[in-house]
């Protein structure tokens, strides 16, 4: 497949910016070709992980400016500018690596880059099989490539979930039609904060809605202090209860609290 071909690959999957995905020593690495520089490259996060680095930035610190760059890469979240490593940078990272598999990676990368340098593309499609054994091998290779695409897509989905606003992760609950029990809303927000930021949040310690909003009383659905602002702006409702008025969140109030909680704990 030509690296500049915006069409779909053999399995009906749109290649990200014409990139080809290869399995190299158990790692899925995307390779591409920069026509302006007339140079092949590997997508930084993929290659850095294969070389045992924490991330692309960690690996990029070892390289000269001419050995690295950026490319717009199509992901599930749209086009993203990502670090890439050009050929000299790839060899530098392989040379510096102490991983036992670095030698095998070197051989595979050498094979890929050699053909990219020669033709501007890499022929990932084998010749038509002439025997049953070759047909089985072709099927196995195609299955591995499909699995590689799925693995990268899953990783991108997980990254988008981390990057997305916390409120989006449970918007379906917060936007349900009924008004919300205050303790329930705090419970789901607290669990999400714990999951995302590793922080334990207790109701009695939380005073997120400041500036004349209200303060939550530990362990109950009661609200002390001024609630006039919150009621006037549609964040709270009050209904008569056995032991006084029961204060509940409206959908607007629950979503607003989630947004403020994220800003507060993300710092």
| pLDDT of the chain, 267 residues: tens digit per residue | 333 333 333 333 334 456 777 777 778 888 888 888 888 899 999 999 888 888 888 899 999 999 999 988 877 667 788 899 998 899 889 888 878 777 778 888 888 877 776 655 444 444 555 666 666 666 666 666 666 656 655 655 555 454 455 555 556 655 654 666 767 777 777 776 666 656 555 444 444 443 333 433 333 444 444 455 566 667 777 776 666 667 777 777 777 777 766 666 655
CA-nearest of 11, 10, 20, 62 to 41 is 20
> What are the backbone dihedrals phi and psi of residue 159, each rounded to the nearest 5 degrees, phi first?
-65, -40
Task: Give the Cα separation of 2 and 122 in Å (integer).
Answer: 7
Listing DSSP states for 19-57 in one string gives -EEEEETTEEEEEEEETTTTEEEEEHHHHHHHTT-SSHH
Whole-model pTM: value is 0.42
In the chain, where are the structural domains located? 16-162, 166-266
Q: Which residues contact 139 (CB under 8 A, 6 or more apart)?
A: none
Query: Where is 245: in which H helix or E strand?
Result: strand 244-249
């Amino acid at each position: 497949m030509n690296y500049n071909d915006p069409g779909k690959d053999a399995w009906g999957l749109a290649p990200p910016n014409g990139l080809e995905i290869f399995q190299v020593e158990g790692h899925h690495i995307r390779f591409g070709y920069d026509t302006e520089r007339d140079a092949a490259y590997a997508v930084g996060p993929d290659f850095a992980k294969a070389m045992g680095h924490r991330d692309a930035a960690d690996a990029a610190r070892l390289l000269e400016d001419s050995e690295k760059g950026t490319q717009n890469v199509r992901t599930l979240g749209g086009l993203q500018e990502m670090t890439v490593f050009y050929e000299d940078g790839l060899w530098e990272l392989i040379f510096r690596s102490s991983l036992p598999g670095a030698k095998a990676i070197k051989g595979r990368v050498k094979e890929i880059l050699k053909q990219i340098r020669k033709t501007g593309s890499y022929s990932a499609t084998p010749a038509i099989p002439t025997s049953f054994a070759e047909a089985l091998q072709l099927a196995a290779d195609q299955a591995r490539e499909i699995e590689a695409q799925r693995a990268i897509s899953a990783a991108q989905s997980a990254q988008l979930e981390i990057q997305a606003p916390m409120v989006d992760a449970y918007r379906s609950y917060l936007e349900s039609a009924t008004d919300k029990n205050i303790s329930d809303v705090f419970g789901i927000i607290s669990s999400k904060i714990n999951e995302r930021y590793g922080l334990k949040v207790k109701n009695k310690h939380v005073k997120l809605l400041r500036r004349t909003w209200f303060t939550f009383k530990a362990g109950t659905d009661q609200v002390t202090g001024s609630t006039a602002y919150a009621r006037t702006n549609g964040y709270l409702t009050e209904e008569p209860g056995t032991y006084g008025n029961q204060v509940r969140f409206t959908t607007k109030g629950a979503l607003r609290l989630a947004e403020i909680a994220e800003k507060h704990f993300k710092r």
